Chains A and B, each alone.
With several copies, the nearest count.
Chain A
Amino acid sequence: KAAAKPTPAPSAPHGRQKVLASPAVRQRAKDLGIDLSEVKPAADGRVRHADLDAFLSYNGANGFASAGT
């Protein structure tokens, strides 16, 4: 997935929008089929498991299946 989305972001002027997340969060998002850039990060810009949980329950209400633990 080398292709970069040319969406400009204030924090990363030259590149695609960067999502800050631990590898474990990235892995979980990937397993769940979630695009991390759609998840609202915390104030420090980082996506944590809790943010994923929130995203899941929000989207869950819109019909997504919960991934459980």
Chain B
Amino acid sequence: TRRLNMIEAINEALAIMLERDPDVIILGEDVGYFGGVFRATAGLQEKFGKTRVFDTPISECGIIGVAVGMGAYGLRPVPEIQFADYIYPGLDQLVSEAARLRYRSAGEFIAPMTVRSPFGGGIFGGQTHSQSPEALFTHVSGIKTVIPSTPHDAKGLLISAIEDNDPVIFFEPKRIYNGPFTGFYDKPVEPWKKHRDSQVPEGYYKIPLGKARTVREGEALTVLVYGTMVHVAEAVCEARGVDAEIIDLRTLVPLDIEAIETSVKKTGRCLIIHEATRTSGFGAELSALVTERCFYHLEAPVDRVTGFDTPYPHSLEWAYFPGPVRIGEAIDKIMSE
């Protein structure tokens, strides 16, 4: 193992899959010659050629649409959507076509694509470079939603996603591409190389989709979280000295319900954290599931800490962001019930 940041880990996963499987191809805006606006595909076109890694017209509909056709042919496309905020023009091809193709053709045709897309805020990107639309995809049958939180996981999950025969949306928390941001925006962010989970094995390895990761064990409270917020949650629990069990979901669909149930039944308290807007965010589903499955174990109301129900504002982004204060107070409240 070496220490990699998240972009390097993703780049490595892509390179490995391009190498191993001649049917894997990468397409998207600026992913080819330039290597992607976040450099996730840097060097890949040079290494694998223009038929394996190529730039596309600026049409998310076209990018996903041709990927559906390529999947039907037998390729395993890995399209990039430059920012999750820009996925909507391609949404119909993703939710009405890719996600339903296996079902509607009774398995005759499949869409084994992995749509990579940077998501989330905290980079002063304003309302169109900061969104977290993951909940929308979890409502659609037939698509898997995967969100890594560390370089180690990013590589292993991305390889699993690419090998998966179902369409996967792979959201990359761009705020932590370069370091595990903990929500203390006025302090410098540590680089990944200092973090335990930047240890990335060389070569091919997989992390199964649908399996959560216990970030730390605890008895007092279960925290359900994913992406950037994993690190914020961890830092806050650390700072408050709460004996929290932090579960990084890694995959929203399919969900590791067993890990969730076991933990909440143990702790009797559950806090859910995400950066996305609150109403009908994935936190709502988690809250409903916990209530349905762990009801009589609950000592306190399941609570959600989320982004607000507004567009992501440019200048007030740290007021919007579900940071240490919001999380800390929610923890205090749950623990005091």
Contacts and interface: CB of A to CB of B under 8 A. Distances in A.
Q: Is chain B in direct contact with chain A in the complex (CB below 8 A)?
A: yes
Given A14-B219, A14-B266, A2 B335 contact: yes
Interface residues of A, number: 18
Interface residues of B, number: 18
Which of B295, B296, B297, B335 lies at the interface centre, i.e. has the most chain A CB atoms within 10 A of its CB? B296
Interface in A1-50: 1-2, 4, 12, 14-16, 18, 20-27, 46, 49
B84 to A, nearest CB: 36
Contact of B296 (A12, A15, A24, A49): A24
B335 A26 contact: no
Contacts of A18: 265, 268, 297
Contacts, number: 44
A21 B299 CA distance: 9
Given A2-B335, A14-B266, A20 B299 contact: no
B219 A20 contact: no
B266 A22 contact: no
B219 A4 contact: yes
B222 to A, nearest CB: 12
B243 A22 contact: no
Interface of B: 219-220, 242-243, 265-268, 295-301, 335-337
12 contacts: A1-B335, A2-B243, A15-B266, A20-B296, A20-B297, A21-B296, A22-B337, A23-B295, A23-B301, A24-B268, A27-B296, A46-B296
